Amino acid sequence: MNLILAVEKERGASVLEYTILVALVVLVVVGAMTALGRQINQKLPEGVPGPSTTAVVAPTTTCPPTTTSSVPPGGTTTTTSPKGC
């Protein structure tokens, strides 16, 4: 009977130990994230502009079609593109 009580006490103690261990891990993670957040805030410049709501359309260029010159059967075909396209 004393053996059964000893096992139950051991089980209760291990749950308590795991609870304390998890609480300590949570405290370490929260502390590390807080320190990291402070370092990031110091590194970033103040007044960084937010995203713009104005759309800027890039200019488009139109290239003339590619020219293909054909040679009789058995010959080679040459394809040329205009400069700058």
Q: What is the pLDDT of residues 4-18, one digit of tens each?
A: 665 555 666 688 899
Q: What is the pLDDT of residues 28-44, one digit of tens each?
A: 999 999 999 998 888 87
3-state secondary structure of 67: strand
Supply the pTM of this predicted model: 0.41
Instruction: Tell me how far apart the alpha carbons of residues 22 and 28 are, in angstroms, rounded to a whole number.
Output: 10
Domain boundaries, given as residue ranges, for the chain:
1-43
User: What is the CB-side half-sphere exposure of residue 36 using CA atoms within 13 A?
Assistant: 6
Q: What is the pLDDT of residues 51-79, one digit of tens each?
A: 666 766 777 767 666 666 666 666 666 66
Q: pLDDT value at position 79?
A: 66
Phi, psi of 78, deg, nearest 5: -115, 130
